[in-house]
Structure 1
Amino acid sequence: MMKKIINFILLAFAGAVLFANEKTGERSPVRSASETKPRVVASTSWTAAFADIAGADGVETIAPANLRHPPEYEVTVSDIQKIAASDFFVYAGFERMMKTLGTSVGTVQMIRIANNNSIATVTSETAKIAEKLGTEKENEARLALYVNAIREAKAEIERRGKSNAKVLCHTHQRYLAADLGFTVAAIFGAEGVTANQIADAKSGGYDIIIDNVHNPVGSPLAEVAPKAVYVVWRNFPDKVERNALLRVVQENIAALMKAL
């Protein structure tokens, strides 16, 4: 039923565009295959940041970047029209909007990617996007900045003698923690912490507790582990801009370094 509604919206949108073009003499907002730069729309600021590293320019998003938990955003008619007018739509699959959109929107090329901030995932998933967009060279250059920032931070942590710190980490932040050289001893989240996890935090001798700003649940663990430094990281950029994901990891790293 929902797919029929979406198809109706797309047909109505196409008809409105055609009528407006005939009346004004302007061309369709849908880009033609001959245009060099594709129009890329992403579900959230996180998938948009992957598209940016892949080499896309001027990426637009559906969920506003200032939401605390963007995947919960509900898609609107105007959002569907925006997607329909794009060449590519980048999404992760866990967004609530995908229950409405399904796996196809008109003739738009849908690119599904995995989302976490590990070097391995960012490398593989941005390459997937770049192959579709034909932006492999841009991807290589932008990815290098991201990878170098993490590797330089890892080296600094080693110089400070902190790489052996015992880390208790939110499940959605364990990837960056591992790339920084830490061995994550235990994880928590995304649901609320359990009594057993609180007991473990109290007796486990953890040096660092890393929480997630988008669904923070680690404060009870920090309360019973006063010797552990408590830092909160993000995954979703709060702005859609060039090098957005690089800035996310730089800010996460800066918060960690300040706490150590």
Structure 2
Amino acid sequence: MAHTRGRTTSLLALSAALALVTGCENGSSSAGGGGDKREHDGKPVVVVTTTWEGALAKAAGAENVQVIVPQSVQHAPDYDPKPSDLAAVAGADFVLYAPFEPYAGKIKEAAGSEAELVEVNLDNDADKVDAEVAELGKLFGTEDAAAKWTAAFAGEYAKLSKDLKAQWPGGKSPVVVSQVFTTWAAKLAGANLVGTYGPEAVTPAQLAKLGKEKPALVLDNAHMSTGTVLPGSGAQQVEIVNYPGDDLDLLPVYRNAATALKEAMPAS
């Protein structure tokens, strides 16, 4: 567990750095304190660990959203927080994180923040997204904005799903194998999901079992790829991206997945 110990030491150092930063601010002006920031425009200040949580917060109606982990980081749990991250947390009303991001609670503790720590279910399954956005809307007091986004999302999702189903080879739902965190894309396409793999390394026994299903498509998680899953099987492997971009817009995630699936299906 040497890696965990290193992170704890890093967070303690960051906490000390934050104390120096906030000490200077308090000595020069009270206007820069977390209290005033939390009152900004009467809207909640939300700090999120990644763009995925950020997109959900934005969809729920949050406007003051700050992301800790850069979008360029492929695997969020590997990120090491900086002093500026702690400063952001210190002025937040809410800190959103996922349970597989072990540093979120430590960030809040090290920063001494009074923010509410909110665990978010990161799953792009449409029903789960709707539930998460509604829940965050209630938490933020932005239910109307959340409901408006959900309605727009439902329309976009239905259109993408319809277009994908029209692309089915021979009018038949394609047989699909998916990484456990990209099954939402199979659902979007109306595909026949016959098996999953990951997040652990795929064993020879699993490969044999999945291969027997003769899938036309393998949906791979771009953020946790293990390379070609079923080499020599003839299955087309499709890379699915879960995380939104820096604009914190969740809809392009679905559009991009639909485009990738469309391009793969004619050859399937």
Please give the range of the TM-score, normalised by the shorter of the 2 chains.
Answer: 0.7 to 0.9
- Following TM superposition, by how much is the alpha carbon of 1:105 offset from its aligned partner in structure 2, in angstroms? 4.6
1:118 equivalent in alignment to 2:125: yes
Is the 8 Å Cα contact of residues 91 and 113 (structure 2) preserved in structure 1? no
Report sequence identity in percent.
Answer: 24
Aligned residue number for residue 152 of structure 1:
159
Instruction: Mark the CA change 1:154 to 1:105 in structure 2 (over 3 Å): closer, same or farther.
Output: farther
Is the 8 Å Cα contact of residues 72 and 96 (structure 1) preserved in structure 2? no
Is the 8 Å Cα contact of residues 48 and 60 (structure 1) preserved in structure 2? yes
Aligned residue number for residue 258 of structure 2:
253
Equivalent-residue separation in structure 1 for 2:232 and 2:57 (angstroms): 40
Query: In the alignment, which of 146, 150, 169 is matched to residue 143 of structure 1?
Result: 150
- Following TM superposition, by how much is the alpha carbon of 1:145 offset from its aligned partner in structure 2, in angstroms? 2.6
Over the residues paired in the alignment, what is the CA RMSD in angstroms? 2.6
- Following TM superposition, by how much is the alpha carbon of 1:34 offset from its aligned partner in structure 2, in angstroms? 6.5
Equivalent-residue separation in structure 2 for 1:195 and 1:68 (angstroms): 26
Is the 8 Å Cα contact of residues 7 and 106 (structure 1) preserved in structure 2? no
- Following TM superposition, by how much is the alpha carbon of 1:83 offset from its aligned partner in structure 2, in angstroms? 0.8
- Any gaps of 5 or more consecutive residues in structure 1? none
Aligned residue number for residue 29 of structure 2:
21
Is the 8 Å Cα contact of residues 116 and 172 (structure 1) preserved in structure 2? yes
Provide the TM-score with structure 1 as the length reference.
0.86
- Any gaps of 5 or more consecutive residues in structure 2? none
Instruction: Mark the CA change 1:69 to 1:174 in structure 2 (over 3 Å): closer, same or farther.
Output: same
Aligned residue number for residue 168 of structure 1:
177
DSSP 3-state at the match of 1:66: coil
The AA in structure 2 aligned to 1:148 is G
Number of residue pairs aligned between Structure 1 and Structure 2: 253
- Following TM superposition, by how much is the alpha carbon of 1:27 offset from its aligned partner in structure 2, in angstroms? 4.5
Query: In the alignment, which of 43, 59, 72 is matched to residue 66 of structure 1?
Result: 72
Provide the TM-score with structure 2 as the length reference.
0.83
DSSP 3-state at the match of 2:70: coil
Aligned residue number for residue 50 of structure 2:
44
The AA in structure 2 aligned to 1:176 is A
Equivalent-residue separation in structure 1 for 2:218 and 2:40 (angstroms): 51
Is the 8 Å Cα contact of residues 89 and 108 (structure 2) preserved in structure 1? no
Deviations 1:147-201 (A, max 9, x none): 3222222222333345621110011101232243223110011122211232234
Query: Aligned ranges for residues 1-260 of structure 1 at < 5 Å?
Result: 5=12, 12-21=20-29, 26-28=31-33, 30-33=36-39, 35-98=41-104, 100-101=106-107, 105-161=112-168, 164-221=173-230, 223-226=231-234, 228-237=235-244, 239-242=245-248, 244-260=249-265
